[in-house]
Structures are given as structure tokens and as C-alpha cells.
């Protein structure tokens, strides 16, 4: 019997979910969790299974390893010889570590324009520049003279930004940094970058001008670039272009580039001084996204080295003084807003005029009355505020049916029936025009889509064009929302807050705002992060309203009472203060910005030092940073994968160890959500369905893997709906997982860890090998490991924080953990998590394991220096050695008993 305990059945604290697991009760907080009476813990080969139900064929006598502590890894001399000889045959040429920075991935510079690169003498270069400058100016004039451009100029001139054109250009000329606070619809996004490019080209400085304008979202980068191109009478990708991850429309002619903030940050890795860039505009800084806050620290440090560079910070409604102060009292320009009138209808007025009745026993509510809900739930301040209101006196001017509805309305739940009814009301009683609905996430969007499709009036697909809009959708689908539907159809766009700023859907007349958005929050003490719907800020509410009335008058329906709106905070808490910082820390290292904590202390509002330390510790533990806080080879690769580092590590290792397919599925579920649904009244049946997928692995992850494969099969046979219904699976979540798998594949191929042209077969050689899949899973979820301790008849679980100093009854399995490149070797064995996990072994075994780790490290190192390196063939030795160790029953772990420590 081998020792146990890879936590196949847990959730990582990095990817918390609110779904209750049917047969797993392990959660990763730093406290001890005792499994409830009806729970059971079992040895299953190398795996510890925790289950709420008794498992068939359970033999308590085999569970003797409870109470064990330090593990010894034993390997027969024959296996040592075989693994040793595989590793000895792998390539020896380890490249020098110093060359890490000399990546061959350096991106081409935007400037100079093609021909200029080849020009030899300075004189010839000047002449060429002059010629191109004149050409650019002539083309600008030509574009301006097209009829559509002339018509658009008429519209542009009505925008408030236009009136401040000269003041703006003068301020840009005379100041290195300028803060622009522009109210919604004033034209800051479409006009200000355009004023600069026009002015530069007009002044025959076209070749020297190279403007970058960052946008927080891909969709706005594309749509704004495309709007400006039409205003200039050009095709997109000529002087105005865009670049987002994995997609670009730009050319050598491009002088104004819209890109996501992430793209500029990645560019800074290779071009830290941004030589050749003349102007940077950072848009929507009021949103205080983590990337924007990060970028402005870097830019503030860069400015003294680039006195010719101009920085313009743009926002809708910001605390402009704070930004100005951060940049040494930079001047501020304020531009008043412009929208056609947008009427606001709050929930009470909507109920009054639509006569819609909210029922407290609606399926959307779990409680039965306002008071009952008050007792049951944990509240946010706005919810509490509303629940303390005396409905009858506060809303005395309203009908009693409206007051009853308000009494039944729950501020803590999103009532999709109310959203549906509002859409129906607009479609029946309001004038023509597209509707833009703001919900919180993909889940609600898809539920609402289902509701509308089965609505007898709205379900008519000849009359209503339904378009979802979500950040994870491919951009090609996102673009459909800008197209005008046929004249007899009404467009209904159902979006998340991605549609909140910088985009103009010009036929939108009605906005329906649910008042919430998904927001990350991080609890540094408990090291827990979650993504939950929260009330938006007033600034966001104004932005949402501003999406109507951009080209004609509009109406904004707020599905919450005015009293909540009035009490909304002015701005949202900056993302840097409420999110996990691992990815940011990796970026700081890859940009070589020095010590992480000192760098982050320079932020506009620095994050809590404890959160920073937690992030650094985690990166060290997963092997992305070494003890001196420098990037390891694994860390280098993780920097170029824009995903959570735990997920990134799982994906990288899965592509090396050729079990990519299952890792993609598991990673997609971890990053998105569990596809199993648990209807309250059919919980046991749902549990049973899940158990049947898990088979004798008794693992949640294997269950979701098998369920996903079965869904793919059912889909190919056209039985998708029935299959999902019978197996308690969400087709929407499964579809989203499929999309995310594709996204992950694109990311891996983008960084050279996947060559799709050669087919996926060679990345899936071990996809059916459950040991290998489990090892990859553990590598991804590490260090979320628990110790299991037998307490009489109960099993208790202890995490690192509370485990030390107690009875060390540890059940561990080394195999899944050997990937952790930074486990330190002591004279007698291997330690991880500062000695929390300890394995002993003979000297020769230790040397072999060290060699294997070193080989893996070396492979990753070589891949940094040679992005073309072919992992499947170059990694053969490492993979073969790992397989030998993982699958050979002669590699055993013996358990040593130790007393109290
Ligand atoms: N694609 C478009 N179609 C029609 N009109 C447009 C389009 N894009 C912009 N406009 C017009 O230009 C105005 C200004 O748009 P712009 O995006 O520059 O505003 P903004 O000041 O950045 O506003 P916000 O912060 O609300 O996004 C819009 O209100 C609209 O009237």
C-alpha cells in the first residue's frame, strides 16, 4: 500500500466558487476543517479521497497509514538505473543563464516607415522623411475631402472637445503630462488622439509622430480605431490602427495605434524606454484598473528619461487632482459632457407605470419576505440601507401594488424576470431603437437569453435580434453589436460592464441597468479572493446611462430604487487594492522594475504590504520566483501567459508532459466555473450523476473531465440538450469551457508551447494516464495541500498555517509534487513549504530526482532563449523519466512514524 494524499478533490483558494460540491467538503482557508460526521476519507492508491458518502468496497484495515508522518521515497536500483540512463541521454548543452534577457521575441518597432530603415546616408534619410511627411499630409487632406468624412466633420465640430482643440494642443505642446477630465460623450476618446495626429501630420512631423492610446478593453480599442479611421476618410489599419492580444490591424503607415493596456505593458518588456513613441494617451483611468495603475507608475519613472515624450491621462469623471498631484501638479483640462437628453426611470417609477408585480415567492428569491431575508443574509451597506427603509412612508406617493412590489424586491438578488419584463415593456410601449442591457456576467446573460427565447412575445426572432456581449467572446462576435439590424427588427444587446465606456453603439436608445457588476475582492488575512456581483459606483452608473443618448435622446431604466442610486459610492475601490497581485508581481519582474514591494509602494494608492507579501510568497512556492525574488525559467514563461499563474503552470507542464487535453478542461473549469448544477430539490440525483462520471477515481476533477468529454460526444451526435438535462450539467458553462480551452490553446501556441500545425496528438500522448493528469493537477493547484489527521473516528484537515506544532500525522505522496522546482534538498531528503512537507530518500534517489528537476528547468531555460525550441522532441527525456517514476509500481513511499514535533 502506498502512502496517500494528492488532493484530487479540492478547490484552490485562487479560484473560489460558490457552488457547493456534492462529495467534497475541503475548503482552503488557513483553518483546520474537520470533516463532518457523515464524511469519510479513504486511501485510493496514491490518492486520498474525501467523500460525504461511504464508498463501495472500503476496507478500513487498509487505512493504516493514518497517523503517519515523514515519507520515505524508495526506488529499486533497477528503476534508478533506467531513469538515470534516460536522463543521461538527454542533451547537456545548458545555455548560460545571463542570456535570458536577450530574447529573440523582440517586436518590430513602429517606426521608421519601411523605406527609411534601408536608407543609408543622413542626407538621403532627411530627404526621404520630408517626402513621406508631405505624402502623409496630402493623404490627410484627401481623406478629409471625402463626402462621408465631411459629413462626420460636421458632427465632430458639435462635440464639446472640438471647442477646446486649440487649448488642448497648446497644453500638450507645453507640458510633458496633461490630465484631461472629460464628461461622458464630450469626444475625448475619438477626438483628442485625432487632434494630435492631425496636427502632427499637418505640421509635416508625420514621420516622427507615433501615438499610442491605451484602452482597458479589446472591444473599445477596435471600435474607437475604426470610428477614427472613418472620420479621417481612411481604411482601418492605415494611419490609424489597433493591436490587441493575438489580433492587430496596423501597417507601417500607422501613426496612431489603439491598444489594450496589457499590450503596451508587454511591449515595455522589450522596449523599456519606448524609443520612437511620441505621445501616450491612457484612457479611462478613472476605472482604476490594475493595468492602468501599474502603467502609470512605470510611465512616471520613464518621463525623466524621455523628456520628449508626452503623456495624456484621460478619463470620464475622475478625481483629476489626485492624478495631477501624482504627476507633480500636471495641468488639468476639463471638458463638459455632451449627450442628448437621457431620461432616468428608477425602479419605483418603472413599477408604477408598467404595473409589473414583483412576487416575493418568485423563483429568484430564496426567502419569503423582506424581514426573513433581512435575517438570513450577509449584507452590503446599500442593501442594508434599503431594507431599513419603511416602504409605506418612503414611497407613500406610489400605488399600493408598487409598494408591495418594492417590499418583495430583493436588493441582494438579481431578478431576471424583472429584467425580462422591462425589455418587454420597452418593446411594447416605447419608440423604436436598440436596447442595451447591463447584467453582471455570462451566467445571467445566458439565463436571460433563455428566458427571452421562450417568451411568447420577445421570442420572435424575426422581430428581435438578441446579441450577448461578454469579455470572453471572440472579438469577431463582439463586433456584431455595432451593426444595424434590418429596419423591422429591434436589436437587444445583453452585456456585462464591458459595454460601459468608450464604445458607441449608435442605435442604442434604451439602457437597462441592473446596478451591479462582478467585482474581485481579496482578503489578505485569509488569502481568499472572490469574484462577486457588487453594486456599481455612481461613476459607472453615469457611464451606463451615457451609452444611450449619444446620437439621439434616450431613456435609462434603473432596476433599483433611487435611494440606492443616491447612496452609491462616487468611485469604485481601485482594483489594485482588491485583487490578487501574483500576475502583477510577475509583470514587475519581467519588466525588470526591481524589488516588488518597493515598486508597488510607489503606486497612486499602494496595496496592503501583506497582500504584496502573500503574492510574492505564492510565486516563490509555485517556483516562479527564486529566493532572491528573481524570475525562474518557469516564471519567465508564466509572464507571457496572461492567466492566473497556477493555471498557467498547469498548462505549461501539461504541454510538456503531453497530457494537454485534460489539463485544458480542468483549467477551463477552474478559471470559469464547475459545469455541474445542483438543483435544490434534486440534489441527490445530481450527486449521483456526478459520482457516476467520477467512477472509481472519486474525484471531482476527473468527474468534470469525463462529463466534458461525454458532452462533446453528445454534441457531435446532436443530443447535447438531452444529455445536459439528464446529467445535471449546464450547457452554457460547458460551451464557455470549450471557448476557454480554445483561448488557452491560442495562448500556448502564441508563446511557442504548442504547434497546432503539427496536430494535437503529440501533446496528448499521456492524456489517458490518470497518474500523469493528477500530477499535473497537483502541480497547478500546489501549494493548496492539506494534512489529514485521524482524530478518533474523525479525519481532520490542517493547512500549513495551523499544522505545525501539532501531531504530525501526515499522509503525503511525493509523486505529484516533484514538479516543484524549488523544493529544497536537505542532507536527508526533500522539503517543501519550509519543511511542512518532508520526504526522505537515499542519496542516489535524491540525486536522481534532483537531476530530473534540473532537466525540466533546463528545458524551460532553453525555451526562453530559443522560442522555436520544439518541446515535444526536446523534452522527450524528461517526460520519459517522469513516466517511469510515476507509473512504476516499484517506486514506493514508506512511512516513518515520528512523535510529537
Ligand atoms: N461609432 C459611432 N457612431 C456614431 N457616433 C459616434 C460613434 N463614435 C462616437 N460617436 C459620437 O461621438 C461622441 C463622442 O464619442 P467619444 O467616444 O469620443 O466620447 P467620450 O467623451 O470618450 O465618451 P465616453 O467617456 O462616454 O465614452 C459620441 O457621443 C457620439 O455622438
Pocket of ligand 1 contains residue 895 by CB under 6 Å? no
Name the residue among 510, 551, 501, 541 with its Cα closest to residue 224.
501
Pocket of ligand 1 contains residue 548 by CB under 6 Å? no
Q: Which atom of ligand 1 is nearest to the CA of 161?
A: 21
Pocket of ligand 1 contains residue 547 by CB under 6 Å? no
Pocket of ligand 1 contains residue 190 by CB under 6 Å? yes
Let me know if 270 is exposed, middle or buried by CB neighbors in 10 A (0-12, 13-18, 19+): middle
pLDDT (mean) for 490-497 = 94
Name the residue among 291, 352, 288, 353 with its Cα closest to residue 323.
288
Residue 315 has pLDDT above 90, yes or no: no
Q: What pLDDT score was predicted for residue 789?
A: 61
Q: How many CB atoms lie within 10 A of CB 725?
A: 10
Whole-number average pLDDT of the chain: 80
Q: Which atom of ligand 1 is nearest to the CA of 190?
A: 18
DSSP assignment string, 557-575: EESS-HHHHHHS-SSPPPG
- C-alpha of residue 449 to centroid of ligand 1, in Å: 28
Residue 693, domain member (yes or no): yes
Residue 704 has pLDDT above 80, yes or no: yes
- C-alpha of residue 185 to centroid of ligand 1, in Å: 5
Pocket of ligand 1 contains residue 342 by CB under 6 Å? no
Q: Which atom of ligand 1 is nearest to the CA of 191?
A: 18
160 and 130 in a single domain? The answer is yes
Q: Which of 149-163, 327-341, 386-400, 788-802 shows the lowest per-residue confidence on average (mean pLDDT)?
A: 788-802
Q: Which atom of ligand 1 is nearest to the CA of 184?
A: 26
Each residue's pLDDT tens digit, 222-280: 999 999 999 999 999 999 999 987 788 999 999 999 999 999 998 998 899 999 999 99
Each residue's pLDDT tens digit, 518-556: 887 766 665 556 677 899 999 899 999 999 988 899 999
Query: Using 50, 70 and 90 to split pLDDT, how confident is the model at 794?
Result: low
The residue whose CA is least distant from atom 8 of ligand 1 is 504
Q: What pLDDT score was predicted for residue 176?
A: 98
Residue 72, domain member (yes or no): no
Q: What pLDDT score was predicted for residue 759?
A: 79
Q: Please check whether residue 886 is in contact with residue 658, taking contact to mean a CB–CB distance below 8 angstroms.
A: no
Distance CA 246, CA 779 (A): 27
551 and 700 in a single domain? The answer is no
Residue 104, domain member (yes or no): no
3-class SS of residue 290: helix
Distance CA 822, CA 632 (A): 9
Distance CA 633, CA 621 (A): 14
Distance CA 245, CA 262 (A): 8
Q: Which of 81-95, 216-230, 570-584, 743-757 shows the lowest per-residue confidence on average (mean pLDDT)?
A: 81-95
The residue whose CA is least distant from atom 10 of ligand 1 is 504
Distance CA 545, CA 700 (A): 43
3-class SS of residue 806: coil
User: The pTM is what?
Assistant: 0.77
pLDDT (mean) for 183-200 = 95
Cell triple for 488: 423591422
Q: What pLDDT score was predicted for residue 104?
A: 32
Q: Compute CA distances 331 → 25, 174, 177, 277, 335, whole Å.
A: 56, 10, 7, 22, 13
707 and 752 in a single domain? The answer is yes
Looking at 521, 547, 576, the residue that finishes a domain is: 576
Q: Compute CA distances 447 → 438, 490, 890, whole Å.
A: 14, 20, 52
Pocket of ligand 1 contains residue 71 by CB under 6 Å? no
Pocket of ligand 1 contains residue 227 by CB under 6 Å? yes
pLDDT (mean) for 727-746 = 88
Residue 512, domain member (yes or no): yes
Each residue's pLDDT tens digit, 366-380: 344 454 455 555 678
> What is the percentage of the chain residues whose pLDDT exceeds 70?
76
Query: Using 50, 70 and 90 to split pLDDT, how confident is the model at 822?
Result: very low
Residue 516 has pLDDT above 50, yes or no: yes
Q: Which helix (H) or strand (E) holds 532?
A: strand 528-535
Let me know if 236 is exposed, middle or buried by CB neighbors in 10 A (0-12, 13-18, 19+): middle
| Best probe residue, ligand 1, of 187, 193, 283, 336 (max atoms within 8 Å of C-beta) | 187
3-class SS of residue 759: coil
313 and 251 in a single domain? The answer is yes
The residue whose CA is least distant from atom 15 of ligand 1 is 187
489 and 510 in a single domain? The answer is yes
Highest average pLDDT, of 83-92, 310-319, 356-365, 789-798, comes from 310-319
Structural domains of the chain, count: 4
Q: How many CB atoms lie within 10 A of CB 58?
A: 14
Residue with more model confidence, 845 or 824: 845
- C-alpha of residue 227 to centroid of ligand 1, in Å: 9
The residue whose CA is least distant from atom 25 of ligand 1 is 184
Q: Which of 322-326, 729-733, 884-888 shows the lowest per-residue confidence on average (mean pLDDT)?
A: 884-888
Distance CA 418, CA 409 (A): 10
Q: What pLDDT score was predicted for residue 853?
A: 78
The residue whose CA is least distant from atom 12 of ligand 1 is 187
Residue 532, domain member (yes or no): yes
763 and 801 in a single domain? The answer is no
815 and 748 in a single domain? The answer is no
Q: Compute CA distances 252 → 58, 231, 241, whole Å.
A: 69, 20, 10
681 and 793 in a single domain? The answer is no
Structural domain containing residue 647: 618-769
Q: Please check whether residue 332 is in contact with residue 321, taking contact to mean a CB–CB distance below 8 angstroms.
A: yes
Looking at 769, 795, 829, the residue that finishes a domain is: 769
- C-alpha of residue 318 to centroid of ligand 1, in Å: 18
Name the residue among 708, 683, 762 with its Cα closest to residue 19.
683
pLDDT (mean) for 275-302 = 94
Q: What pLDDT score was predicted for residue 28?
A: 27
Which residues face 177 on adjacent strands? 311
Query: Using 50, 70 and 90 to split pLDDT, how confident is the model at 46?
Result: very low
Cα-based torsion angle of the residue sequence 832, 833, 834, 839 in order, rounded to the nearest 10 degrees: -30
Each residue's pLDDT tens digit, 423-475: 999 999 999 999 999 999 887 898 899 899 999 999 999 999 999 998 767 66
Pocket of ligand 1 contains residue 550 by CB under 6 Å? yes
- The CATH number of the domain holding residue 622 is 1.20.120.1080
Residue 7, domain member (yes or no): no
Q: Which atom of ligand 1 is nearest to the CA of 546?
A: 26
The residue whose CA is least distant from atom 6 of ligand 1 is 504
Q: How many CB atoms lie within 10 A of CB 575?
A: 20
Let me know if 505 is exposed, middle or buried by CB neighbors in 10 A (0-12, 13-18, 19+): buried
CB burial string 687-717: b at 16+ within 10 A, e below: bebbbebbeebbbbbbbbbbbbeebeebbee
Let me know if 478 is exposed, middle or buried by CB neighbors in 10 A (0-12, 13-18, 19+): buried
Q: Compute CA distances 630 → 95, 360, 592, whole Å.
A: 18, 56, 9
Distance CA 703, CA 551 (A): 51
The residue whose CA is least distant from atom 16 of ligand 1 is 187
Pocket of ligand 1 contains residue 187 by CB under 6 Å? yes
Pocket of ligand 1 contains residue 648 by CB under 6 Å? no
Residue 835, domain member (yes or no): yes
Distance CA 312, CA 758 (A): 46
- The CATH number of the domain holding residue 420 is 3.40.50.300
| Best probe residue, ligand 1, of 550, 553, 556 (max atoms within 8 Å of C-beta) | 550
3-class SS of residue 647: helix
Q: What pLDDT score was predicted for residue 859?
A: 84
Residue 73, domain member (yes or no): no
Distance CA 232, CA 214 (A): 20
Distance CA 848, CA 732 (A): 46
Pocket of ligand 1 contains residue 411 by CB under 6 Å? no
- C-alpha of residue 190 to centroid of ligand 1, in Å: 6
Q: Compute CA distances 24 → 9, 34, 773, 774, whole Å.
A: 6, 12, 19, 17
Q: How many CB atoms lie within 10 A of CB 406?
A: 21
User: Rounded to the nearest 5°, which phi and psi values hold at 690?
Assistant: -65, -45
Q: Which atom of ligand 1 is nearest to the CA of 156?
A: 12
Peptide bond before 352: cis, by omega within 30 degrees of 0?
no
Each residue's pLDDT tens digit, 617-629: 989 988 899 989 9
714 and 689 in a single domain? The answer is yes
Pocket of ligand 1 contains residue 164 by CB under 6 Å? no
Pocket of ligand 1 contains residue 188 by CB under 6 Å? yes
265 and 244 in a single domain? The answer is yes
424 and 540 in a single domain? The answer is yes
The residue whose CA is least distant from atom 14 of ligand 1 is 187
Looking at 769, 796, 831, the residue that finishes a domain is: 769
Residue 189 has pLDDT above 50, yes or no: yes
pLDDT (mean) for 740-768 = 86
- C-alpha of residue 502 to centroid of ligand 1, in Å: 7
The residue whose CA is least distant from atom 4 of ligand 1 is 506
753 and 881 in a single domain? The answer is no
Amino acid at each position: 500500500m502506498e502512502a496517500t494524499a494528492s488532493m484530487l478533490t479540492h478547490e484552490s483558494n485562487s479560484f473560489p466558487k460558490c457552488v457547493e460540491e456534492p462529495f467534497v467538503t475541503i475548503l482552503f482557508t488557513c483553518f483546520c476543517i474537520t470533516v463532518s460526521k457523515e464524511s469519510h476519507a479513504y486511501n485510493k492508491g496514491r490518492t486520498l479521497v474525501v467523500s460525504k458518502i461511504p464508498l463501495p468496497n472500503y476496507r478500513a484495515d487498509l487505512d493504516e497509514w493514518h497517523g503517519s508522518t515523514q515519507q520515505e521515497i524508495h526506488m529499486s536500483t533497477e528503476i534508478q538505473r533506467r531513469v538515470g540512463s534516460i536522463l543521461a541521454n538527454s542533451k547537456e548543452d545548458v545555455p548560460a543563464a545571463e542570456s535570458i534577457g536577450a530574447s529573440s521575441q523582440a517586436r518590430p518597432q513602429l517606426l521608421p516607415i519601411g523605406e527609411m530603415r534601408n536608407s543609408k546616408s543622413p542626407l538621403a534619410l532627411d530627404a526621404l522623411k520630408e517626402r513621406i511627411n508631405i505624402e502623409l499630409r496630402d493623404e490627410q487632406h484627401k481623406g478629409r475631402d471625402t463626402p462621408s468624412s465631411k459629413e462626420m466633420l460636421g458632427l465632430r465640430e458639435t462635440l464639446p472637445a472640438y471647442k477646446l482643440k486649440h487649448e488642448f494642443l497648446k497644453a500638450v505642446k507645453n507640458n510633458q503630462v496633461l490630465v484631461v477630465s472629460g464628461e461622458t460623450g464630450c469626444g475625448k476618446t475619438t477626438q483628442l488622439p485625432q487632434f494630435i495626429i492631425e496636427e502632427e501630420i499637418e505640421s509635416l512631423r508625420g514621420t516622427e509622430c507615433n501615438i499610442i492610446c491605451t484602452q482597458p478593453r479589446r472591444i473599445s480599442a477596435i471600435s474607437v480605431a475604426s470610428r477614427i479611421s472613418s472620420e479621417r476618410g481612411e481604411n482601418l489599419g492605415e494611419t490609424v490602427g489597433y493591436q490587441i492580444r493575438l489580433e492587430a490591424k496596423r501597417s507601417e503607415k500607422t501613426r496612431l495605434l489603439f491598444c489594450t493596456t496589457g499590450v503596451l505593458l508587454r511591449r515595455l518588456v522589450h522596449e523599456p524606454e519606448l524609443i520612437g513613441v511620441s505621445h501616450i494617451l491612457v484612457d479611462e483611468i478613472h476605472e482604476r484598473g490594475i493595468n492602468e495603475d501599474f502603467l502609470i507608475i512605470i510611465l512616471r519613472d520613464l518621463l525623466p528619461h524621455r523628456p520628449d515624450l508626452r503623456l495624456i491621462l484621460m478619463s470620464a469623471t475622475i478625481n483629476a487632482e489626485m492624478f495631477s498631484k501624482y504627476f507633480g501638479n500636471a495641468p488639468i483640462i476639463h471638458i463638459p459632457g455632451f449627450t442628448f437628453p437621457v431620461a432616468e426611470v428608477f425602479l419605483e417609477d418603472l413599477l408604477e407605470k408598467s404595473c409589473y408585480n414583483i412576487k416575493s415567492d418568485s423563483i429568484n428569491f430564496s426567502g419569503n419576505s423582506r424581514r426573513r431575508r433581512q435575517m438570513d443574509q450577509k449584507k452590503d451597506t446599500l442593501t442594508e440601507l434599503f431594507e431599513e427603509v419603511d416602504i409605506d412612508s418612503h414611497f407613500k406617493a406610489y400605488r399600493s401594488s408598487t409598494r408591495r412590489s418594492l417590499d418583495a424586491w430583493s436588493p441582494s438578488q438579481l431578478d431576471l424576470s424583472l429584467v425580462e419584463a422591462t425589455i418587454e415593456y420597452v418593446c411594447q410601449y416605447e419608440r423604436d431603437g436598440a436596447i442595451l442591457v447591463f447584467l453582471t456576467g455570462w451566467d445571467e446573460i445566458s439565463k436571460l437569453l433563455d428566458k427571452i427565447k421562450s417568451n411568447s412575445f420577445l421570442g420572435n426572432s424575426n422581430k428581435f435580434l438578441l446579441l450577448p456581449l461578454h469579455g470572453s467572446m471572440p472579438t469577431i462576435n463582439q463586433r456584431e453589436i455595432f451593426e444595424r439590424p434590418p429596419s423591422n427588427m429591434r436589436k437587444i444587446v445583453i452585456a456585462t460592464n464591458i459595454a460601459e465606456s468608450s464604445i458607441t453603439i449608435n442605435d442604442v436608445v434604451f439602457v437597462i441597468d441592473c446596478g451591479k457588476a462582478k467585482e474581485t475582492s481579496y482578503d489578505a488575512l485569509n488569502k481568499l479572493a472572490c469574484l462577486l456581483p457588487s453594486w456599481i459606483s455612481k461613476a459607472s452608473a453615469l457611464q451606463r446611462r451615457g451609452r444611450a443618448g449619444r446620437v439621439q435622446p434616450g431613456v435609462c431604466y434603473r432596476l433599483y430604487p433611487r435611494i440606492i442610486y443616491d447612496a452609491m459610492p462616487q468611485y469604485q475601490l481601485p482594483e489594485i487594492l482588491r485583487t490578487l497581485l501574483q500576475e502583477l508581481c510577475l509583470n514587475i519582474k519581467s519588466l525588470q522594475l526591481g524589488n516588488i514591494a518597493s515598486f508597488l509602494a510607489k503606486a497612486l494608492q499602494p496595496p496592503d504590504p501583506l497582500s504584496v507579501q502573500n503574492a510574492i510568497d505564492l510565486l516563490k512556492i509555485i517556483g516562479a520566483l527564486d529566493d532572491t525574488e528573481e524570475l525562474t525559467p518557469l516564471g519567465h514563461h508564466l509572464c507571457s501567459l496572461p492567466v492566473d499563474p497556477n493555471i498557467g503552470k498547469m498548462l505549461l507542464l501539461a504541454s510538456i508532459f503531453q497530457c494537454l487535453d485534460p489539463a485544458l478542461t480542468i483549467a477551463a473549469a477552474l478559471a470559469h466555473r464547475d459545469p455541474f448544477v445542483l438543483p435544490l430539490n434534486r440534489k441527490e440525483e445530481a450527486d449521483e450523476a456526478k459520482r457516476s462520471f467520477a467512477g472509481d477515481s472519486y474525484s471531482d476533477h476527473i468527474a468534470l473531465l469525463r462529463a466534458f468529454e461525454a458532452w462533446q460526444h453528445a454534441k457531435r451526435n446532436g443530443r447535447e440538450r438531452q444529455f445536459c438535462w439528464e446529467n445535471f450539467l449546464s450547457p452554457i458553462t460547458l460551451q464557455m469551457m470549450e471557448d476557454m480551452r480554445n483561448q488557452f490553446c491560442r495562448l500556448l501556441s502564441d508563446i511557442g508551447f504548442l504547434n497546432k500545425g503539427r496536430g494535437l496528438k503529440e501533446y496528448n500522448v499521456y492524456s489517458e494516464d490518470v497518474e500523469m493528469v493528477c500530477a499535473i493537477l497537483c502541480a497547478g493547484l500546489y501549494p493548496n495541500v492539506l494534512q489529514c489527521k485521524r482524530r478518533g473516528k474523525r479525519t481532520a484537515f490542517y493547512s500549513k498555517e495551523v499544522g505545525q506544532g501539532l501531531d504530525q500525522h501526515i499522509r503525503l505522496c511525493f509523486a505529484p509534487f516533484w514538479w516543484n522546482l524549488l523544493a529544497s534538498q536537505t542532507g536527508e531528503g526533500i522539503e517543501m513549504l519550509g519543511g511542512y512537507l518532508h520526504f526522505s530518500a537515499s542519496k542516489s534517489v535524491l540525486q536522481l530526482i534532483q537531476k530530473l528537476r534540473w532537466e525540466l528547468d533546463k528545458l524551460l531555460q532553453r525555451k526562453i532563449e530559443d522560442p522555436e525550441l520544439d518541446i515535444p522532441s526536446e523534452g522527450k527525456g524528461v517526460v520519459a523519466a517522469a513516466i517511469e517514476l510515476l507509473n512504476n509500481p516499484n517506486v514506493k513511499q514508506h512511512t516513518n512514524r515520528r512523535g510529537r514535533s
